[in-house]
Structure 1
Amino acid sequence: MPRYEYRCRSCGDTFELSRPMADSSAPASCPAGHEDTVKLLSTVAVGGASAKSAPAAPSGGGCCGGGCCG
């Protein structure tokens, strides 16, 4: 289930909720009980062994990357 991050406009607390995507825009109460909250935009970093071990892209110009197309 996706996790969404919210911030309370009343007390400034930031909190997360796990909820279905269909409920992502539904109102959320902060842990202190305040109702004035806003959903924050989050970025997701994806990485892992495959990202670290991937070969470097060839540098240079031309259609084949090596400049052989004079």
Structure 2
Amino acid sequence: MPTYEFRCRECGSTFDVQRPMTASADPAACPDGHDDTVKLLSVVGLAGAKTTAAAPQAGGCCGGGCCG
């Protein structure tokens, strides 16, 4: 089950909530009882994603072909 991180706007504390993905947008109350919270963007899933773009194999205005 995914874990979502929230921050309380009232007291500034951060806390984690485990819930199904179908409930990811649902509000979460602060453990101290405050209701004004915001879900934080997690970079855990983004940190391991590395993409490598292939460099063009040849130059030219049409991707390596002869324009003429």
TM tier relative to shorter chain: 0.5 to 0.7
TM-score by length of 1: 0.64
Partners in 2 of 1:11 and 1:62 — Cα distance?
52
Which amino acid is 1:14 matched to? T
1:1-70 → structure 2 map (5 Å cutoff)? 1-44=1-44, 45-46=47-48, 63=57
SS for the counterpart of 1:22 is helix
Q: What RMSD, in angstroms, separates the aligned Cα atoms of the two structures?
A: 2.5
Give ranges in structure 1 of 5+ residues lacking alignment.
47-60, 64-70
Q: Which amino acid aligns with 2:25?
A: S
TM-score (norm 2): 0.66
Aligned residues: 54
Cα offset, 1:62, TM superposition:
7.3
Q: 1:62 to 1:8 in 2, by over 3 A?
A: closer
